[in-house]
Structure 1
Amino acid sequence: MGLTNRQNVIFKTIVEEFTRTAEPIGSKTLMNLLDFPVSSATIRNEMAALEKVGLLEKTHTSSGRIPSSKGYRYYVENLLETNLDVPMQQTLKTYFTQRHYSIDDVVSKSCDILSEMTNLTSIALGPDCEDQCLQHVQLVPVNEKSAVAIIVTNKGHTENKFFQFKEEVSTDDLKKCTDLLNDKLVGTPICQVVDRMNDIHPIMAATLVRHEVLFEAFVTAFMKFAQDRIKVSGRGNMLFQPEFSDLNRLKELMNVLENGHMIKEWTNKESNVSVRIGNRKELTQIGDCSIISAKFHYSDSEEGQLMVVGPNRMQYSKVVGLMDYMTNVIEDIFYDDKNKGGGNDE
């Protein structure tokens, strides 16, 4: 799309002012925002030209213009400039590097930080359990009524689950249970382990004294393992976005954000419109919603994803800058530098 330099500056200014104020932008407002002299008539002509090519829309309530969905895509692809001030970078890096977090803790905290700093909803997607198989199970006794289960997948992902038993369980039962699970379940896709547990339940009953206690503990653990791939933070932030003042629309969005499977279906619809931002980020538009997503690596074989969900009118430069930094922090902490495909991809 062949815009002039002046049109690009005017359009960029409109997008950034509208995302800040949620108010349609008129020619008089633009005159005060632009750093070069231009008449109100000229601005109106340029805005009409931008509207003609589909980048701006005129509202019914004022003479001002707002960016269209196509306009936001053009802005993100061609005009976006990200910036995260140094003090904020230092604060975020210090927060993570001075504490001994697990990967799940860091991803979860990153999700919380994104929602807090953008006033939008953020989502963290862990590795898909359908691509992972059980490789090893270990039970470490803590005392007679508790133990820690260590579950390892073929992709190198490790989950630690604390079991608090209702009855005392002997170390002999723990060892027999571990041996049985490793013998019968290794190689099973994580999302199918619970079904396979039901198949071996009779063997557990015949082998273990506290078979019901252990069976219930592991079924719960594997179900949680298979489901805990999605974290959502800041759902309530949508209440403060004027675009979602319609209660039915807001209720529909909240229902989606409450359900991990619905989130995946919603974000992967064929009717969605997406554009790439650099090497690993993407803008996806779903009606009046926009999603900025960024991928990161846990390891060579495990990939996760951070998302920020909000109205099409979001502060893209701030959101993208934060996501760039957060995904780089995650990889710096957990992914060997020599295996990374580069840090910031802007």
Structure 2
Amino acid sequence: MLKKRQELILKTIIEEYIKTASPVGSKRIQEVISIEISSATIRNESAFLEEQGFLEKAHTSSGRVPSTKGYRYYVDYLMKSNDIEDVKSQIEEIFKRRGATIDQILEETSKILSEMTKLATVVATNDGFEEVELNKVELVSLSGKNAIVIFVLSNGVVENKMINLETVPIEELQISIDLFNDRLVNSKLSEIEFKSKAILPILKSQVKKYEFILQTFVSALLHTGSSQAKTSGMKYLLENPEFNDPNKIKSIVEFIESSSPFAWFKSQMNNKNKAAVAIGIETGVGNDDIAIVGTNFPTESGGQGTLALVGPKRIQYDKVSDLLEWIGQKIEEKYNRGE
């Protein structure tokens, strides 16, 4: 644990960076910090926080920015709930509308959340996801350049995935499909990601593009069954200065499209209605520029859904966590009343 003064300096840097998206120097820290402290002490403590991995030195100025480790410490030990009563009042009115369905409520709530936070909102539901099984995988060659991999599920759903044969030879695809049929048929979709790790060494020994194939197959299966996901607020998300770079825009769009927020939050959320936070590499996709905050909620058919906000690491974690926990509780209350 850090000392109180170090925590205060770290908290000040993070909250200033969240507001401005600009590196924070010692002069600015001295202006806004709540205790009397010399600039030399601030520089020394900031250097210590950088050495310990809580801060990173900005390349273009003398200021510092928070690291993933710094954000995690802030979320776990330092942040306090912000005043968000105005936003809650707007959302409360949506819940009060007579006859409004949860889908309608979530659609309107997502728009408010994205506009307020400048983040993308993802609503994912997976009713019956745990019971759906993989029945078989088939390969259909369309031409010399493309083929379709077909996943047949126990609930009658058929998922198709187009593969460019210039990227993966058809022989490697067939070997991979045969392995999936031998080892993963009759597995529940909720088990696929875990079980696929066991076949990775076998796949690696037989095909060159084993990582791409495994990721493609598993990703396709995690988005099948009765899984549905809706994303809103991308235009607000892209207003963040972190995504001025076209490569970073592509990265976060691919992340939202290819990830499975439901699967991640289901494994992370042990406390009912509590918000879970994944920062940087904690998201599990090798992208250190992204953060997610989300909460689970019950669905009408007895399944589970996830409401998540996705954006740069410079998220107002306190405000977002408080809001999502509150929304999750409101949805559960609505179901408990039988509405």
TM-score range, shorter chain: 0.5 to 0.7
Contact 1:295 1:306 in 2 (8 A): yes
Partner of 2:172: none
Contact 1:103 1:334 in 2 (8 A): no
Partner of 1:97: 96
Q: Are residues 1:193 and 2:142 paired? A: no
Say which SS state the counterpart of residue 296 (structure 1) adopts.
Answer: strand
Q: Which residue, 267, 277, 281 being the options, matches 1:283?
A: 277
Q: Structure 1: how far apart are the matches of 2:83 and 2:337? A: 24
| Residue 268 (structure 1) shift | 4.9
Q: CA RMSD in A?
A: 3.1
Contact 2:261 2:308 in 1 (8 A): no
Say which SS state the counterpart of residue 276 (structure 2) adopts.
Answer: strand
Say which SS state the counterpart of residue 287 (structure 1) adopts.
Answer: coil
Partner of 2:60: 61
Q: Structure 1: how far apart are the matches of 2:61 and 2:245? A: 21
Partner of 2:295: 294
Tell me the amino acid that sits aligned with residue 84 of structure 2. D
Q: Cα deviation per residue 1:277-311 (whole Å; 9 max; x = unaligned)?
A: 99732211342100111112236942211110001
Say which SS state the counterpart of residue 95 (structure 2) adopts.
Answer: helix
Q: Structure 2: how far apart are the matches of 1:254 and 1:317? A: 25
| Residue 239 (structure 1) shift | 2.1
Tell me the amino acid that sits aligned with residue 108 of structure 2. K
Q: Cα deviation per residue 1:170-204 (whole Å; 9 max; x = unaligned)?
A: xxxxxxxxxxxxxxxxxxx9973356xxxxxxxxx
Q: Structure 2: how far apart are the matches of 1:86 and 1:103? A: 21
Q: Cα deviation per residue 1:65-85 (whole Å; 9 max; x = unaligned)?
A: 110011111111111111243
Mapping 1:161-200, distance limit 5 Å: 192-194=155-157
Q: Are residues 1:49 and 2:48 paired? A: yes
Q: Structure 2: how far apart are the matches of 1:191 and 1:246? A: 43
Say which SS state the counterpart of residue 48 (structure 1) adopts.
Answer: helix
Tell me the amino acid that sits aligned with residue 263 of structure 1. S
Q: Structure 2: how far apart are the matches of 1:296 and 1:10? A: 36
Contact 1:297 1:335 in 2 (8 A): no
Contact 2:11 2:78 in 1 (8 A): yes
TM-score by length of 2: 0.64
Say which SS state the counterpart of residue 108 (structure 1) adopts.
Answer: helix
Say which SS state the counterpart of residue 193 (structure 1) adopts.
Answer: coil
Runs of 5+ consecutive residues of structure 2 not aligned to the other structure: 133-151, 159-223, 281-286
Q: Structure 1: how far apart are the matches of 2:35 and 2:49? A: 19
| Residue 256 (structure 1) shift | 4.0
| Residue 94 (structure 1) shift | 2.1
Which structure has the larger Rg over C-alpha atoms? Answer: 1
Q: How many residues align?
A: 245
Mapping 1:74-89, distance limit 5 Å: 74-89=73-88
Contact 2:128 2:303 in 1 (8 A): no
Q: Structure 2: how far apart are the matches of 1:131 and 1:327? A: 21
Partner of 2:177: none
TM-score by length of 1: 0.63
